[in-house]
Amino acid sequence: MIKLLLTDLDGTLTEDRGTYVVDIGAIKALRRAEKAGIRVALVSGNSYPVLRGLHNYLGLSGGLVAENGCFVFHGGVTFRVCETVPREVVSEFAKTFNLRESWQNEFRRSDFGFTPAELKDEMIKWAEERGLVVQSSGYALHLSGKPGGKGAGVRKLLELANVKREETGAIGDSRTDIEMFREAGITAAVSNADPELKRVASISLKLKSGAGVMEFIDMLLS
């Protein structure tokens, strides 16, 4: 029996990959899950205030993992998982690789977003030399303090929620969701997901993004 459903946001709850417009059917499905006793949590590269706003207004109760795994919120408790990245380092990364900073960087401390989202080998080397982690979600590059990535944040959320791995479901679209999938008992990749994510998912869905979320929740509730 699934008690907690972890869902990615960009490319998963949206109408498609590459758009920010949330899928109405997906919101309805999340609310159906909540009514059936499955708490829904957002696990995303977005900043804490953006995710907490969505969590509240979408009518969810499972908490959230923000900053690509570095920040956890559950039942009124907030928790920082990763090391803080100094502001100068963030600016230097943007300058070195000619990247545009996310408007949300002002509201982040451990994980920072940049576009374009294309990850290059020199970036990985640059981050490693400074004890940092760099990943791409397809929407943005994420430069994070250690440990970085969604795994550590999800483990902390499950601990705070007092939910076991077998009681946890997860859905996503991007390779950055692989770490989240490792912490969940049943995992679903939307049809337009990265091939690397499909390979580790227990279910490959027929439908894309938000429609895939409906498909997965229908399975969980049937």
Which positions touch its own copies (CB under 8 A)?
9, 14, 20-22, 24, 27-28, 46-47, 49-54, 56-59, 103-104, 106-107
Residues 6+ away with beta carbon under 8 Å from 19: none
Is-catalytic flag, 23? no
Is 150 part of any known ligand binding site? yes
Is 198 part of any known ligand binding site? no
Nearest distance from C-beta of residue 56 to its own copies, angstroms: 5
The smaller minimum CB distance to its own copies, of residues 21 and 219, is found at 21
Is 177 part of any known ligand binding site? yes
- Gap between the Cα atoms of 108 and 90, Å rounded: 11
The smaller minimum CB distance to its own copies, of residues 58 and 117, is found at 58
Is 8 part of any known ligand binding site? yes
Nearest distance from C-beta of residue 9 to its own copies, angstroms: 8
Q: How far is CA 42 from the centre of its chain?
A: 7
The smaller minimum CB distance to its own copies, of residues 60 and 133, is found at 60
| Cβ neighbours, 10 Å, residue 96 | 11
Is 111 part of any known ligand binding site? no
Q: What is the DSSP letter of 198?
A: H
Residues 6+ away with beta carbon under 8 Å from 183: 6, 151, 154, 155, 158, 165, 168, 170
Nearest distance from C-beta of residue 27 to its own copies, angstroms: 6
Q: What is the 3-state secondary structure (H, E, C) of 34-55?
A: HHCCCEEEEECCCCHHHHHHHH
Helix 48-58 vs helix 24-35: angle between axes, to the nearest 10 degrees?
A: 70
| Cβ neighbours, 10 Å, residue 47 | 23
Contact in structure between 69 and 151 (CB atoms under 8 Å):
yes
The smaller minimum CB distance to its own copies, of residues 173 and 183, is found at 173
- Gap between the Cα atoms of 27 and 210, Å rounded: 8
Catalytic residue among 8, 23, 111, 194: 8
The smaller minimum CB distance to its own copies, of residues 42 and 186, is found at 42
- Gap between the Cα atoms of 185 and 200, Å rounded: 12
Annotated binding-site residue numbers for substrate: 150
Annotated binding-site residue numbers for Mg(2+): 8, 10, 173, 177
Which of the residues are catalytic?
Answer: 8
